[in-house]
């Protein structure tokens, strides 16, 4: 801490001592009072944004800090699948998503190769080594040292380098995430740098953001990681709600629309949510009536949704909607219409 304070004092003295004699050109880039050290929050932010992102195959390895390398072989729910390229991940995803009420298991045929957040390629020899990597990733996530994948920098970008007196010593044009990661991790303890703003970046929602300062970049990361946390929580909720619904039968407990509870209109029906995403409405009073077949899907963004689709012109078509999950238990799930908060629905398990 004392060393950092000393650097700060020297830096401020250098700024006032050298500003008066800078040329017009060097006054723009030659002296920078906002230069960062290797231990600065800005260095950490750019390092995390530049890390290798291993989250695309999380459904298979459950580890966002490692990227699976191909070819590899895995047993998924007991079915042997050979993955030759990353495009074959869809085969694994289809196998996992075949049913929504089973407990998915993935067993790799070791050894396998993975690429870490630091771009190192390592051989994972057995399940024990694989589990150890997972624990390392959990620790990195808990301490805020994992990769930030919700802000993608548009390259090239330029970084200016300085000595301890804040005199510019050079500049580096960065062309890729890996090059940026190496630059940050290779910084000496007494080296200083600043980013030549503006920098363009793409957020996970597809929007393009112009970053004009270290503070802007910090805010972008804070906001998008908060959104990611909300998305993760919503995804967990969706998984749990799907588990409640799948393979079970419900009745309409309440259905409020136009200010009136119309649940009595569906008193004769039970609703079966199958494990392959079919939703079947059966009339238990008049068994001569043909069952009404529809579909359902539980999904999530920053909140969890239930989509119901019985098609049009059926006795239960009014239930068609994108429903926001409000509350849920093992026996009762309540919803609000995504488009009209005055419309609500509750399913009670039979």
Strands (DSSP E) contained in 78-180 are 79-83, 106-108, 112-116, 121-124, 151-153, 157-162, 168-174
Compute the average pLDDT of residues 62-66: 96
Confidence (pLDDT) at 15: 36
Cα-based torsion angle of the residue sequence 63, 65, 69, 73 in order, rounded to the nearest 10 degrees? -10
Confidence (pLDDT) at 101: 59
Domain ranges of the chain: 2-51+149-231, 58-142, 246-349
Asked whether residue 62 carries a pLDDT value surpassing 60, the answer given is yes
Asked whether residue 261 carries a pLDDT value surpassing 90, the answer given is yes
Residue pLDDT, tens place only, 274-300: 999 999 999 999 989 999 999 999 999
Rounded Cα distance, 302 and 229, in Å:
8
Rounded Cα distance, 271 and 349, in Å:
9
Rounded Cα distance, 87 and 316, in Å:
40
Confidence (pLDDT) at 104: 83
Rounded Cα distance, 307 and 229, in Å:
23
Rounded Cα distance, 50 and 177, in Å:
5
Tell me the pTM: 0.78
**Could you name the CATH architecture of 246-349?**
Beta Barrel (2.40)
Residue pLDDT, tens place only, 286-336: 989 999 999 999 999 999 999 999 999 999 999 999 999 999 999 999 999
Token pair for 229? 């946390």
Give the total residue count for the chain.
350
Percent of the chain predicted with pLDDT > 90: 82
Note the helical H segments in 20-106: 24-29, 41-50, 58-61, 89-96
């Amino acid at each position: 801490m004392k060393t950092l304070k000393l650097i700060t004092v020297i830096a401020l003295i250098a700024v006032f001592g050298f500003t008066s004699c800078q040329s017009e050109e060097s006054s723009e880039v030659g002296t920078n009072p906002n230069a960062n050290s290797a231990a600065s929050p800005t260095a950490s932010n750019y390092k995390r944004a530049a890390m290798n992102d291993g989250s695309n195959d999380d459904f298979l390895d459950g580890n966002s800090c490692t990227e699976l390398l191909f070819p590899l072989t895995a047993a998924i729910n007991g079915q042997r699948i050979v993955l030759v390229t990353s495009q074959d991940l869809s085969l694994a995803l289809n196998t996992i998503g075949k049913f929504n009420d089973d407990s998915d298991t993935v067993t790799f045929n070791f050894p396998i190769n993975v690429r870490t957040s630091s771009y190192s390629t390592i051989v994972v020899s057995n399940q024990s080594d694989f589990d150890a990597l997972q624990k390392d990733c959990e620790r990195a996530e808990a301490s805020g040292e994992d990769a930030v994948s919700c802000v993608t920098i548009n390259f090239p970008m330029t970084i200016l380098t300085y000595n301890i007196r804040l005199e510019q010593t050079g500049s580096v044009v960065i062309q890729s995430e890996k090059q940026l990661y190496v630059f940050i991790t290779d910084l000496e303890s007494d080296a200083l740098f600043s980013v030549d703003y503006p920098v363009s970046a793409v957020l996970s929602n597809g929007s393009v953001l112009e970053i004009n300062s270290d503070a802007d970049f910090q805010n972008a990361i804070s906001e998008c990681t908060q959104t990611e946390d909300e998305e993760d929580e919503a995804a967990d909720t969706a998984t749990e709600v799907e588990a409640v619904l799948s393979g079970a039968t419900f009745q309409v407990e309440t259905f409020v629309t136009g200010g009136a509870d119309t649940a009595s209109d569906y008193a004769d029906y039970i609703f079966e949510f199958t494990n392959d995403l079919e939703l079947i409405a059966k009339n238990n009073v008049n068994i001569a009536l043909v069952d009404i077949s529809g579909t359902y899907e539980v999904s999530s963004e920053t909140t969890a949704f239930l989509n119901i689709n019985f098609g049009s012109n059926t006795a239960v078509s009014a239930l068609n909607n994108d429903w926001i999950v409000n509350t849920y238990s093992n026996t009762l799930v309540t919803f609000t219409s995504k488009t009209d908060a005055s419309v609500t629905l509750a399913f009670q398990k039979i």
